Amino acid sequence: MKPNSRNLVALLQQAEDYATASVEGVLPWMREDLRRPDRLYHAYTRTRLGLEVHYLFPNLGGAQRTLLVNLLEARNSFEVGLRFARKRSGQGPDVRRRGRLVGGWEAKFRDLRVRSRSLVKLPQLTAAQKKMLLTVFLALPGSQ
């Protein structure tokens, strides 16, 4: 599909609609529950990741982009957990708890990674998008 002005306008409108809906989803939480910054941070992170995926993969369907958002969120959480665990190596119940958390994020990332591998074979993806999937989204943390 060659980009023409009608396609570009439609894509820009979809991106604007997505961003507007995402921000509107975050705003009520800000007003209702200012004592729960974890909810606000999670909503902000999901919105930001969603916008990144939408920008990078506008030619994928909503379910496929949601899968990539989930994959990127799990990968980022796993990577942060690994960094934290390396800095705080030691003994005790806190270390075991962190190990379980990191293990949980690793399992979630690996599961989503397996489910997302088929996206690389989609004919509508450009070579640059396939490379992005392989080198960023599907890569193990620390392997870049």
Q: Which residues of 21-33 are buried (b: 16+ CB within 10 A; e: fewer)?
A: ebeeeeeeeeeee
Q: What is the pLDDT of residues 99-125, one digit of tens each?
A: 677 777 888 888 999 988 888 888 888
| The pLDDT value given to residue 2 | 46
Number of helical H runs and strand E runs in the chain: 5, 0
- Tens digits of per-residue pLDDT, 6-44? 766 676 677 677 767 776 666 665 565 556 667 767 777
Whether 50 contacts 65, CB under 8 Å: yes
Considering only residues 93 and 68, tell me which one the structure prediction assigns the higher pLDDT.
68
- The C-alpha atoms of residue 126 and residue 130 are separated, in whole angstroms, by 6
**Domain range list for the chain:** 1-56, 59-144
